[in-house]
């Protein structure tokens, strides 16, 4: 761990320093809010695309201590969106490159953690801070950041981007709604497009990162209404934003015990012949729907997801309550279950088959269907 202290910020017992005057004059802000920023310790996970937007804004706003966690090296393919880094930084640790850019504008200290945020060190890293910002690019870290924040009672701001869009949300760490209420089961990583596979519009990182930085400032100063129990999604191709509300699930613990695979239980190899018979791809489903043959489409996502997009004619039976609603399905009519990326529908398939129902599930979920069959369907 390395720490640099910028001496450019005076303490704030009295008047607000000139450099912060334009934000301190905001209604409800003033010197007290600026003092809270000076005293705050914020840990940012990731110095990539989102970190490149979040970190400079927080540094310039007067955060007392900014911690950066990232063990990655700068690559040439990062440069179009990760604006903390330049071609001369290729091959360097991202935290070192980020520090070079941040120190001239940081009002406080910058602390570097050139490690990966993992189960064995996550709690120790987070414990030294007041708030966590998750700008990671993978679901493993995203769920871990959520769980650590909840366990330590820390607020969390998270964001995610993919291709032409992204979304952002916040967690208070007080037992209220969190990321697992929004996405109960992690998707199969192979079903999710990475930046390398699908690309990302650089300006999307700027938009989502700016929203994330705004949530951090709101949570630290107490101004405004934090984005808790809500997510804001942005679609660059249309220029539209939308908000979806969700609630904490009081039965989540029970749902997790029945829907998440046990670590001791071997996962079925998706290349096995039996697994191939259990699933169908997006084009196969489209052909089946076009044939007019009887079919029950079962959407096992959460209600907020169905509000964004769903397949016509489907019935919404969220995975957490599916076991108690199987009698709503016709045992004589074939069933196709689907979710966002395919992970939840695969678990639903086990429940449906266990009840003797003729079921398959949609590989890649509605996201694959919208990408390969019907581009008019919204993606999130």
- In the numeric block, the tokens 């709690």 are attached to 123
205 classed as catalytic = no
Write out the two tokens for 361.
Answer: 């599930």
Handedness of CA 206, 207, 209, 215 (dihedral sign): positive
**CB 47, CB 134: distance < 8 Å:** no
Angle made by CA atoms 358, 289, 302, in degrees to the nearest 5:
70
The set of residues, in sequence order, having a beta carbon less than 8 Å from that of 162 and lying 6+ positions away, is 192, 193, 195, 198, 200
**CB 342, CB 369: distance < 8 Å:** no
**CB 314, CB 254: distance < 8 Å:** no
**Could you tell me how far CA 364 lies from the centroid of its own chain?**
18
Given the residues 339, 359, 363, 368, the one annotated as active site: 339
Look up residue 186 and give its DSSP letter: P
**Of 43, 18, 267, which Cα lies nearest the Cα of 144?**
43
Rounded to 10 degrees, the C-alpha dihedral 330/334/339/345 comes to 90
- In the numeric block, the tokens 């602390």 are attached to 111
339 classed as catalytic = yes
Rounded to 10 degrees, the C-alpha dihedral 331/334/339/340 comes to 180
**Of 166, 148, 182, 198, which Cα lies nearest the Cα of 54?**
166
Other CB atoms within 10 A of residue 186 CB = 17
**Could you tell me how far CA 193 lies from the centroid of its own chain?**
14
Interatomic CA distance for residues 150 and 152, integer angstroms: 6
E strands along 104-207, which residues? 109-113, 131-134, 156-162, 165-171
Angle made by CA atoms 196, 1, 216, in degrees to the nearest 5:
65
Given the residues 93, 103, 195, 355, the one annotated as active site: 195
How many C-alpha atoms does 260 have within 13 Å on its Cβ side? 13
Look up residue 45 and give its DSSP letter: E
Query: Where in the sequence numbering do the catalytic residues fall?
Result: 195, 339
């Amino acid at each position: 761990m390395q720490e640099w202290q910028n001496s450019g910020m005076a303490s704030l017992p009295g008047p607000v320093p000139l450099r912060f005057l334009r934000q301190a004059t905001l209604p409800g802000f003033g010197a007290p809010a600026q003092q809270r920023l000076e005293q705050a310790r914020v840990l940012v996970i990731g110095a990539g695309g989102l970190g490149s937007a979040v970190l400079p804004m927080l540094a310039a706003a007067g955060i007392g201590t900014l911690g950066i966690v990232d063990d990655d090296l700068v690559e040439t393919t990062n440069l179009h969106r990760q604006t903390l880094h330049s071609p001369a930084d290729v091959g360097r640790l991202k935290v070192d490159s980020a520090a070079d850019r941040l120190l001239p504008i940081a009002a406080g200290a910058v602390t570097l953690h050139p490690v990966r945020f993992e189960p064995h060190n996550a709690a120790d890293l987070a414990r030294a801070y007041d708030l966590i910002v998750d700008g990671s690019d993978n679901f493993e870290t995203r769920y871990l950041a959520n769980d650590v924040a909840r366990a330590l009672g820390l607020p969390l701001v998270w964001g995610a981007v993919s291709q032409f869009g992204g979304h952002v949300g916040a967690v208070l760490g007080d037992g209220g709604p969190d990321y697992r209420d929004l996405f109960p089961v992690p998707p199969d990583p192979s079903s999710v497009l990475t930046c390398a596979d699908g690309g990302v519009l650089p300006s999307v990182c700027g938009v989502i990162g700016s929203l994330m930085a705004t949530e951090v400032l709101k949570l630290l100063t107490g101004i405004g209404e934090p984005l808790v129990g809500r997510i804001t999604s942005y679609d660059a191709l249309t220029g539209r934003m939308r908000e979806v509300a969700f609630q904490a699930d009081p039965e989540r613990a029970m749902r997790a015990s029945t829907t998440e695979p046990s670590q001791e239980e071997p996962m079925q190899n998706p290349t096995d012949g039996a697994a191939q018979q259990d699933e169908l791809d997006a084009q196969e489903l489209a052909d089946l729907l076009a044939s007019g043959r009887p079919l029950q489409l079962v959407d096992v996502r959460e209600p907020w997801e169905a509000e964004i997009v769903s397949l016509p004619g489907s019935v919404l039976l969220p995975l957490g309550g599916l076991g108690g609603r199987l009698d709503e399905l016709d045992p004589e009519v074939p069933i196709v279950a689907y979710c966002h990326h395919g992970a939840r529908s695969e678990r639903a398939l086990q429940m449906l088959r266990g009840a003797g129902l003729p079921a398959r599930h949609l590989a890649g979920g509605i996201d694959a269907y919208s990408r390969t069959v019907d581009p008019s369907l919204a993606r999130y």
